[in-house]
Chain A
Amino acid sequence: MIRRLFAIIHKEINHILRDPKTLMVLFLMPATMVVLFGFALNMDITHIPVAVIDHDNTPESRAFIRAFTGSKYFTAAYRIDDVSEVENLFKNRSIKAAIVIPNGFGKDFTTRPEVDYQLLVDGSDPTYGQAVTNYASAIATSYSLSNPGAARLVPIEIRDVFLYNPDLKGSNFITPGLVAVILMMACALLTSITIAREKETGTMDVLTVSPVRPIEIMVGKVIPYVGVSLIDAVFIIVFAKLVFNIPLRGDLVLLLGLSVVYVYCALGIGLFISSIAKTQQVAMMAALVATIMPSILLSGFMFPIFSMPAPIRIITYLVPAKYYLEIIRGILLKSSTFGILQNQVLFLAILGTAFIVIASLRFKTRVN
């Protein structure tokens, strides 16, 4: 049994080593992603280009506009006279918002308790549009509160404490997430081909008439990829540590141990797809299409799961990346212990086993 298993493992390792281009992508990919994401990801929206339309043109209105353009959030890209010009500027993507100060603003500001100004927002990108609106009202409020003595009128104090990521660095959140997303795709892609390839080239028949049992083929095919994937995982974490100095607060041995469970689950998905698909092409397409978007969008990598509608939240239980994201972020950023993460581990183990069992069942019936 052990000897036959080793034979299969040996054969698969040869397959992997013989294809340096694939191996290269396996390591180049995470490195590129970490660098691109680390630099490209900048959650702070600043220097929003705006058009200023000042119908009032008094010292008061100019001071108010300076409160906007003097902040890091807004840059006055255009000063125009007429609101009708705004549409063209929006369509050419030259500005994201326009500040319109009505006639009489200065007079009203000194005599009335409340004055209005208008903010025209390009809402086509809702995140951006929301940010623009929030920044503008924050600036307007704090401008009106800058009146000395106003602070004393507020009877309470509000204190924010940001735990686990006090500098609010986006890369601390994204880089561990990348490990989860990349590993998922790498594992599923790698294993999705292994069985389909043997079927297509006809070597599967040779394997099945040999004394090797189906379960041995499965296990023998999985073990080398577990190795490759774990090396990949360690590589990503070390690389991210070196380039972006992400914190490694928790127990790294625990992380490595739990990564094995995740890799097992991801490989299970690949095997499952491989056992269904007739040709390599179908297997690969299915593996890529099935993992690339869901592990980015349904895992909580960028979009919070708790805000999704209930049916979608149920679907996310089938996305292994969701559990691993909680594990790796927990260990790296919050130094979570096994006790806190046991549910996630349990789900991963169940999912992985389910996929592998279904795959070997399908494989057996095929062979007979």
Chain B
Amino acid sequence: MKALKYIIKKEFIQLRRTRSMIGIALVMPIVQLVILGFAVSGDVIHVPTALIDLDNSPMSRTLANKFDNTRYLEIKFHSRDHRDSDRYLEENKAIIAITIPHDFERDIARGKRPAIMIKADAQNTNIALTGSGYVRRILQSWLTSLSPGGEIPIALHTINTESRVWYNPELKQTWFMVPGILVLLVTIITMLLTGFAIVREREMGTLEQLMVTPITRTELILGKTIPFAVLGMVDMMLALFVAKIIYQIPIAGSLFLFLGLSLIYLFCTLGLGILVSTVARTQQQALFLDWYILVFCIIMSGFFLPLENMPKLIYYLTYIDPVRYFMTIVRELFLKGSGMSALWEPTVALVILAVILMTSAIIRLNKRLG
């Protein structure tokens, strides 16, 4: 046990000596959290739009005005030339081009149902569909105001959807994404730190020196993980504090439960890190393996691709991703205030993964050194 204390002390001294390391492990995640949180905060708004009014009648101008007064669309270009709709899209200047046809006002008066055309750059299908949805919504509200008295045809029985949104009534993206970013940043940092810690000793030849001392292997592994677990927890709390202050993330659940589950999770990422370092010969290899695993885990975590949408086969793959479980835990605990009764499944999965990862890391390290 005394030996363990010395190893931990040694790691802390090493950490302290590389000042830039502290910067990367503590400052960079926080800075990124702040910036990235704002980047993903938005709904699709200010969609760059071109409005081509071929009619130029009083009615078409009122309609054009409607499009100007919304934050969902940003009318960047007004034009009278039908060729512009293609040109603006082609030159990446607009995503949506709305064309009001010739004789629009006259055709409406004659009951000829003129067609308004919405052209969308559909590279990003999500934005194209949302954008054209905005246009439709504005057209509909204009139609309602158009008919005298604003009445809706009485022959109809309209059914109103009275929706009540729970947990995140304003549907704020930040409430959902910022906890996710927090999880990812802590994952990246802790996995990299442990991964390098052992490879570095091997590359420098100091690992052999350590092995001939009376330190046992378990002590070595624990000595290598505990300091990073501490650092990871500090990172987690710091990031949480910043997220709370800047983004006013609600934490509906128990903070203690969160910290406890975080600790379990950190043993998963640290175990992964050590496992990587037993496979890699050089720091460069460790880096590239880490990179591979991290990107895989991020995609499969449900961070930005909803798990429910994935095809079954891919969905099964997410079961081996520790990030996925912790992502669920953090979001549910923060937003819904879920306790253990609702979170026991992901928790059990995390414990199992942590045990598997840590033991296989220790076994592999033994083999490599023995």
List the interface of chain A (C-beta within 8 A of B): 19, 21-22, 25-26, 28-29, 32-33, 36-37, 39-46, 64, 90-93, 109-110, 112-130, 133-134, 136-137, 140-141, 143-145, 147, 149-150, 153-166, 168-170, 172-173, 185, 189, 193, 197, 277-282, 284-286, 288-290, 292-294, 296-298, 302-304, 306-309, 311-312, 315-316, 326, 329-330, 333-334, 336, 340
Contact = CB atoms under 8 A, between A and B. Distances in A.
Interface centre among B122, B299, B311 (most CB of A within 10 A): B122
15 contacts: A42-B311, A119-B162, A123-B165, A125-B331, A160-B132, A163-B89, A165-B128, A168-B125, A173-B125, A189-B287, A281-B200, A285-B192, A294-B32, A304-B44, A306-B48
A189 B168 contact: no
Nearest to B86: A163
A112 to B, nearest CB: 7
Contacts of B152: 113
A123 B118 contact: no
A292 B113 contact: no
A159 B115 contact: yes
B347 to A, nearest CB: 14
A125 to B, nearest CB: 6
Interface string B259-292: 0000000000000000000001111110111111
A163 B120 contact: yes
Given A36-B299, A119-B162, A149-B155, A284 B192 contact: yes
Nearest to B119: A161
B288 A25 contact: yes
Contacts of B119: 161, 163
B159 A288 contact: no
B164 A120 contact: yes
Given A297-B36, A306-B48, A158 B136 contact: yes
A282 B193 CA distance: 10
Given A123-B167, A133-B161, A36 B300 contact: yes
Nearest to B309: A42
B287 A288 contact: yes
Nearest to B173: A126
A125 B168 CA distance: 8
B332 interface: yes
B229 interface: no
A159 B85 CA distance: 14
Contacts of A115: 157-160
B228 interface: no
Contacts of A29: 291-292, 295
Given A156-B114, A161-B117, A172-B123, A340 B156 contact: no
Contact of A285 (B21, B159, B336): B21
A144 B159 contact: yes
A113 B28 contact: no
Interface in B309-344: 309-311, 313-314, 317, 328, 331-332, 335-336, 338, 342
Contact of A133 (B39, B163, B306): B163
Nearest to A279: B18
Range of interface residues on chain B? 35 or more
A306 B47 contact: yes
Given A21-B281, A22-B285, A163-B121, A155 B158 contact: no
Nearest to A23: B288
Interface string B27-40: 01100100110111
B184 interface: yes
Contact of B291 (A39, A128, A185): A185
B149 interface: no
B120 A333 contact: no
A21 B160 contact: no
Interface in B33-81: 35-36, 38-48, 74
* Top-9 shortest CB links A-B: A162-B122, A123-B165, A123-B168, A307-B42, A126-B171, A165-B122, A25-B288, A124-B335, A91-B342
B157 A147 contact: yes
A153 B153 contact: yes
A134 B126 CA distance: 14
A165 B125 contact: yes
A120 B126 CA distance: 24
Nearest to A276: B20
Nearest to B28: A289
B164 to A, nearest CB: 5
Given A155-B113, A157-B116, 9 more contacts: A21-B285, A36-B317, A37-B299, A40-B300, A156-B113, A284-B284, A286-B20, A294-B36, A298-B36
A64 B111 contact: no
B222 interface: no
B156 A145 contact: yes
Contacts of A110: 157
B25 to A, nearest CB: 8
